[in-house]
């Protein structure tokens, strides 16, 4: 009796295992709108019965409050105009999107892929060049003159353009006008300044008000990227050669990091939450970052009217401008996508032509687009009460046009890691800036062989 039971249970178990394998539904990702999920399930069953069914566009992205919300908005606009289309917008963590995309593309399976995927700009060249032919060539499909040139540059490989430029990471110097006024600085004193000037102001502010000028994470490469991008230089030149030890702007950026630390004008933080917390609770008088930070700035509603925005500081390096970029991402269409042409049409119609859509997402989500005609829209010119009536988004649109175009190349993360690891040794005084740059270059070379 016992044996029979054992045999039965083993069989049952193995059947269960096989069934579980066969039925594999790898998507653990959550569908953003419950209704859509229900709809699509219904549609799935209908699909089997009749073939003249709705075509589905699948999208992968991260951040429910930003990218996902915006994509939902775009989808509803397109769905309203086209009967036979529906969307499945899949929300995943950013790391998960990247991981899934990597593994699926590397396995050369096209089945699990979405039609449209969001890729961070620092990563775009990596995907485009690592998986040639996997993304749809859109050179003739979109009017790229309508988009910010620096964004288009990032998605170009061999003069073919692959993506749909999305949100801009145009940077600004967002400051507490009340604190800086207390120290005697008006808007004019903060317009188009250099980093050195910022440090002087920071010392003055600290002496007069006791407040730190910024919250600062010294192992974070954000400011480094801002400084580099404003100079039109990167860790690599346009041909992809390493430009680290001979990079004037990079050297000055590292020295500026040290100056900022030595001046004792900052609140040291580790990680995003502390960094945001420091300016939200009024300990730091300003924040220098991409425009997407305004969402977090505005989270401190009690500070409404006490903020203002100025162009980002520049380096002393002669080519450096008071305009830069940090972060931002773009949409890409998979070449093997089932509904590739439909996806292109959708992108063209909404992201490449609907100015009103861009006003909506600016108002609702604070998304500064890289679609230039949108910047002339009403939402952009509106005065922002939080920033004391300043039309910050119109200003950002102006700055965006001045961002120097650079090609991030394939190895931004490798370079970042090499530089930030050696920067630490320079900051602690165990290496000179020249040695730190040399070591970083050596590490980078070994990483990208």
- Segment lying near other proteins (by CB under 8 A), choices 200-208, 241-249, 268-276, 367-375: 268-276
* Nearer of residues 55 and 296 to other proteins, judged by Cβ: 296
Query: 3-state DSSP call for residue 59?
Result: strand
Residue 210, phi then psi, degrees to nearest 5: 80, 0
CB neighbours (10 Å) of residue 28?
Answer: 7
Distance (Å, rounded) from C-alpha 46 to C-alpha 33? 20
Which residues ranging from 218 to 237 are in contact with other proteins (CB under 8 A)?
218-222, 225
Establish if 167 lies at the interface with other proteins (CB under 8 A).
no
Report the distance separating Cα 323 and Cα 227, nearest Å: 9
Is 289 one of the binding residues for other proteins (CB under 8 A)? yes
Among 90, 347, 411, 433, binds other proteins (CB under 8 A): 411
75-104 footprint of other proteins as x/- string (CB under 8 A): --------------------x--xx--x--
- In 300-436, the DSSP E strands lie at 307-310, 329-333
CB 90 within 8 A of CB 60: yes
Q: Looking at 8, 12, 17, 299, which residue binds other proteins (CB under 8 A)?
A: 17
- In DSSP notation, 353-376 reads T-HHHHHHHHHHH---BSBGGGGG
Stretch that binds other proteins, among 68-76, 177-185, 400-408, 416-424 (CB under 8 A): 416-424
Among positions 126, 251, 321, 431, the unique one binding other proteins when judged by CB under 8 A: 126
Closest contact distance (angstroms) between CB of 95 and other proteins is 7
Are 416 and 226 contacting, i.e. CB atoms less than 8 angstroms apart?
no
Look at phi and psi of residue 176 and say left if phi exceeds 0, alpha if psi is from -120 to 50, else beta: beta
Length of the chain measured in residues = 449
Handedness of CA 317, 322, 328, 330 (dihedral sign): negative
- 253 belongs to the binding site for other proteins (CB under 8 A): no
Structure token pair of residue 81: 């105009």
Nearer to other proteins, 30 or 273 (CB): 273
- Measured from the CB atom, the residue of 129 and 378 that comes closer to other proteins is 129
Bridge partners of residue 31, in order along the sequence? 90
- Given 361, 419, 433, 437, the residue binding other proteins (CB under 8 A): 419
Find the binding residues for other proteins in span 371-400 (CB under 8 A): none
User: Is the CB of 134 or the CB of 320 nearer to other proteins?
Assistant: 134
- Interface ranges with other proteins (CB under 8 A): 7, 10, 14, 17, 95, 98-99, 102, 106, 126, 129-132, 217-222, 225, 267-275, 277, 289, 327, 410-411, 413-414, 416-417, 419-421, 424-425, 442-443, 446-449
């Amino acid at each position: 009796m016992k044996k029979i039971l054992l045999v039965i249970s083993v069989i049952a178990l193995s059947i269960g295992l096989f069934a579980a394998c066969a039925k594999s539904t790898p998507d653990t990702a959550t569908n953003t709108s419950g209704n859509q999920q229900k709809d699509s399930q219904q549609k799935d069953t209908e699909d089997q019965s009749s073939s003249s069914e709705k075509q589905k566009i699948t999208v992968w992205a991260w951040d429910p409050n930003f990218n996902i919300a915006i994509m939902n908005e775009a989808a509803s606009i397109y769905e309203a105009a086209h009967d036979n289309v529906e969307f499945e917008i899949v929300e995943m963590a950013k790391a998960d999107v990247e991981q899934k995309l990597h593994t699926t593309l590397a396995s050369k399976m096209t089945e699990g892929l979405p039609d449209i995927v969001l890729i961070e700009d620092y990563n775009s060249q990596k995907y485009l060049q690592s998986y040639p032919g996997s993304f749809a060539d859109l050179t003739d499909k979109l009017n790229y003159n309508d988009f910010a040139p620096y964004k288009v540059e990032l998605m170009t490989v061999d003069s073919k353009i692959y993506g749909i430029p999305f949100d801009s990471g145009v940077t600004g110097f967002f400051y507490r006008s009340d604190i800086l006024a207390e120290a005697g600085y008006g808007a004019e004193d903060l317009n188009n300044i250099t980093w050195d000037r910022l440090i002087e102001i920071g010392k003055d502010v600290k002496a007069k008000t006791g407040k730190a000028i910024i919250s600062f994470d010294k192992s974070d490469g954000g400011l480094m990227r801002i400084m580099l991008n404003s100079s039109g230089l990167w860790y690599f030149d346009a041909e992809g050669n390493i430009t680290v030890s001979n990079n004037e702007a990079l050297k000055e950026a590292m020295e500026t990091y040290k100056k900022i630390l030595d001046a004792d004008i900052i609140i040291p933080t580790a990680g995003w939450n502390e960094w945001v917390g420091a300016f939200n609770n009024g300990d730091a008088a300003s924040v220098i970052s991409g425009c997407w930070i305004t969402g977090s700035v505005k989270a401190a509603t009690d500070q409404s009217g006490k903020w203002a925005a100025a162009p980002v500081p520049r380096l002393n390096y002669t080519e450096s401008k008071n305009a830069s970029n940090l972060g931002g991402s773009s949409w890409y269409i998979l070449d093997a996508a089932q509904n590739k042409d439909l996806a292109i049409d959708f992108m063209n119609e909404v992201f490449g032509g609907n100015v009103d859509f861009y006003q909506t997402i600016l108002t609702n989500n604070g998304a500064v687009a890289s679609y230039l005609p949108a910047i002339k829209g009403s939402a952009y010119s509106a005065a922002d009460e939080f920033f004391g009536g300043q039309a910050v988004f119109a200003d950002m649109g102006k700055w965006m046009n001045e961002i120097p175009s650079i090609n991030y190349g394939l190895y931004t993360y490798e370079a970042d890691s090499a530089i930030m690891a050696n920067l630490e040794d320079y900051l602690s005084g165990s290496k000179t800036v020249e040695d730190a740059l040399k070591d970083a270059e050596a590490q980078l070379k070994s990483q990208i062989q």
